[in-house]
Amino acid sequence: MLMKWIKREKKREYDEDDLLIDKVASIRGIYNLKHWLNPPSKYVNSPYGLGNIDEMAQTIIKAIAEGKKMAIIPDIDTDGICSYSIMNNYLKPLGANLTENVIHAQ
């Protein structure tokens, strides 16, 4: 199956010498990239909105302390892979015994 690319119109101007990330931000209409990448906490959802976050945190802490093998199983989409990477990069330095996952799209 061939992909159909959609070319977006610029929402604001940029210079050809700008970094790629600045060009993409311009196309997307992002005016303050630093603010967009690091939003104030009032714009970020609290993890305590998840029903069992305290129980899950304790389970992870206990598993790390006991050296239990853990696996992070992501969704195979953009935010799933990003979430997987964040969790992996956060837990490994804490000593988590993580499986090495090979992710296959189906």
Distances (CA, A) of 59 to 53, 55, 77, 99: 10, 6, 26, 17
Q: What is the pLDDT of residues 16-58, one digit of tens each?
A: 888 998 888 888 888 888 998 998 888 888 888 988 999 999 9
What is residue 80's predicted lDDT score, i.e. its pLDDT?
A: 87
Separation of alpha carbons 59 and 65, rounded Å: 10
Q: How confident is the model at residue 59 (pLDDT cuts 50, 70, 90)?
A: very high
b/e per residue 28-41 (b: at least 16 CB within 10 A): eebeeeeeeeeeee
Q: Give the model's pLDDT for residue 52.
A: 93
> What's the pLDDT score for residue 1?
65
Please name the residue ranges forming H helices in 1-66: 20-28, 33-37, 53-65
pTM above 0.75, yes or no: no
